[in-house]
């Protein structure tokens, strides 16, 4: 049976997630992956990888002139960064990209699929409440009105999107959920923490604004942890003066620290697999939970580890099979202190539903 061509586009930051979705859609389509030359090695594909060799600022022209060849054009990361451009150059780049995306949506209206990374970027009423500029969200909102197929990263965010757009405005759209990461078979994993040693994986880039390191400090100062040989593994990039200083500061509270300026995928898996559990230290400043998903859930799925995360990150508890939610760090301590064997479950997270959705809504179009 002839498969229609499908173009997945990723030239920003979410390469691992984009490759997962490429593998999902290639079950039904003749898939091609468009990537810029700088990031070409981040996608391990022997075939079907289109490397754009000109400067990245021209990559959208490839889509404008070649989009007619494809049944669908999937933007893994649409025009969302930076949230609020500052300075003349960034604003020129924003309006340049806005013009090109608008042209693509006008020409290929029924072909474009947008995967949303953060709802706050698209709705001016959200930004006005947050005292943020509304111009950029007003313009990005045009994408949502034009686009007919939209992917959200959780069912909670899907419901919020429909609520913000209005059900009537969504009646001619196809909106579905593809989680940031998803297992393709159900997994049930039992484990028990070591009485003498613990290796704690700290997720995400070491960042002054987005993380609450006081929580980790309070955790490690608890008498339960002081009695153990604790290894802290910072699984995100630790570069810059703040990151180096912050990581070094924790050396007084644990036996060993593992950190790097950058972990490639192999290193992330190698060091992450040695962790006993993972912690997200995200705070609310970057809209996690309320308007966007955190990558911490995808990391936990990839590493098949129990995750401890702030309770605001997953409002509908969609990922509770492997996640322990805390408001105060003491809840983590009580859970870890328990000597009982623990079990985490990674379910299919909409995988079977998405297979059927693609068959019934995209293949038959």
CA distance 18 to 15: 5
The whole-number pLDDT of residue 334 equals 85
pLDDT at 3 (0 to 100): 76
Q: Domain 187-346 adopts which CATH fold? A: Rossmann fold (3.40.50)
Taking each helix axis as running N to C, give the angle between helix 265-272 and helix 296-303, from 0 to 180 degrees, rounded to the nearest 10. Answer: 70
pLDDT per residue as tens digits for the range 68-86: 999 999 999 999 999 899 9
**Would you say residue 365 has pLDDT above 70?**
no
Q: What is the DSSP string of 174-218?
A: EEEE--SS--SS-EEEEE---SSEEEEEEPS---TTTB-HHHHHH
Mean pLDDT of 95-99: 98
Rounded Cα gap, residues 279 and 250, in angstroms: 15
C-beta separation of 255 from 178 below 8 A: no
CB atoms under 10 Å from CB of 174, counted, come to: 15
Tallying the residues shown for the chain, one arrives at 365
pLDDT on residue 328: 86
Instruction: Give the span between the Cα atoms of 342 and 138, in whole angstroms.
Output: 47
Distance between terminal CA atoms of the chain? 16
- Tell whether the model's pLDDT for residue 62 goes beyond 50: yes
Q: What percent of the chain has pLDDT over 90?
A: 76
> Would you place residue 1 in the very low, low, confident or very high pLDDT band (cuts 50, 70, 90)?
very low
Pairing of strands 112-115, 72-75: parallel
CATH 3.40.50.2000 in the chain is located at 187-346
Q: What is the DSSP string of 206-271?
A: --TTTB-HHHHHHHHTSHHHHTSEEEEEE-S---SHHHHHHHHHGGGGSSEEE--S---HHHHHHH
For helices 59-66 and 88-107, give the axis angle rounded to 10 degrees: 10
- Residues carrying CATH 3.40.50.11190, the chain: 5-178+350-363
pLDDT digits (tens, 9 = 90+) for 145-171: 999 999 999 999 999 999 999 999 999
Q: Is the pLDDT of residue 262 over 90?
A: no
The pLDDT-based confidence of 193 (bands split at 50, 70, 90) is: confident
Whole-number Å distance between alpha carbons of 296 and 308: 9
pLDDT at position 12: 92
Q: Does domain 5-178+350-363 have CATH number 3.40.50.11190?
A: yes
Query: Does position 2 have pLDDT exceeding 60, yes or no?
Result: no
CA-nearest of 68, 3, 58 to 36 is 58
224 pLDDT above the threshold of 70: yes
Determine which of 17-31, 107-121, 182-196, 292-306 has the lowest per-residue pLDDT on average.
Answer: 182-196
pLDDT digits (tens, 9 = 90+) for 304-351: 999 999 999 999 999 999 999 999 888 888 888 876 788 999 988 989
């Amino acid at each position: 049976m002839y498969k229609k061509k499908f173009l997945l586009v990723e030239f920003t930051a979410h390469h691992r997630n984009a490759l997962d979705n490429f593998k999902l859609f290639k079950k039904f389509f003749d898939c091609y992956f468009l990537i810029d030359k700088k990031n070409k090695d981040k996608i391990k594909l022997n075939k079907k990888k289109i490397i754009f060799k000109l400067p990245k600022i021209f990559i959208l022209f490839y889509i404008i002139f070649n989009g007619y060849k494809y049944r669908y054009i999937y933007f893994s990361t649409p025009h969302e960064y930076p949230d609020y451009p500052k300075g003349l150059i960034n604003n020129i780049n924003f309006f340049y990209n806005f013009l090109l995306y608008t042209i693509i949506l006008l020409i290929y209206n029924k072909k474009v699929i947008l995967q949303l990374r953060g709802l706050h970027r698209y709705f001016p009423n959200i930004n006005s409440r947050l005292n943020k500029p509304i111009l950029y969200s007003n313009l990005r909102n045009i994408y949502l009105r034009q686009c007919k197929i939209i992917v959200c990263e959780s069912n909670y965010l899907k419901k919020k999107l429909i609520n913000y757009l209005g059900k009537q405005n969504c009646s001619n759209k196809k909106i579905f959920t593809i989680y940031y990461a998803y297992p393709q078979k159900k997994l049930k994993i039992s484990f028990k923490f070591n009485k003498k040693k613990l290796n704690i994986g700290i997720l995400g880039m070491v960042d002054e604004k987005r993380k609450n390191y006081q929580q980790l400090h309070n955790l490690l100062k608890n008498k339960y942890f002081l009695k153990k040989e604790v290894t802290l593994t910072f699984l995100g990039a630790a570069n810059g003066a703040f990151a180096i200083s912050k990581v070094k500061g924790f050396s007084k509270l644990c036996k060993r620290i593992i950190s790097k300026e950058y972990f490639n995928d192999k290193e992330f898996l190698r060091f992450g697999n040695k962790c006993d559990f993972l912690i997200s230290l995200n705070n609310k400043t970057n809209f996690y939970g309320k308007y966007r998903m955190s990558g911490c859930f995808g990391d936990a799925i990839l590493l098949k580890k129990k995750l401890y995360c702030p309770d605001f990150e997953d409002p509908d508890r969609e990922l509770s099979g492997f996640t322990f939610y805390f408001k105060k760090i003491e809840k983590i301590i009580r859970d870890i202190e328990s000597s009982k064997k623990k079990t985490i479950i990674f379910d299919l997270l909409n995988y079977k539903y998405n297979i059927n959705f693609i068959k019934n809504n995209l293949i038959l179009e």
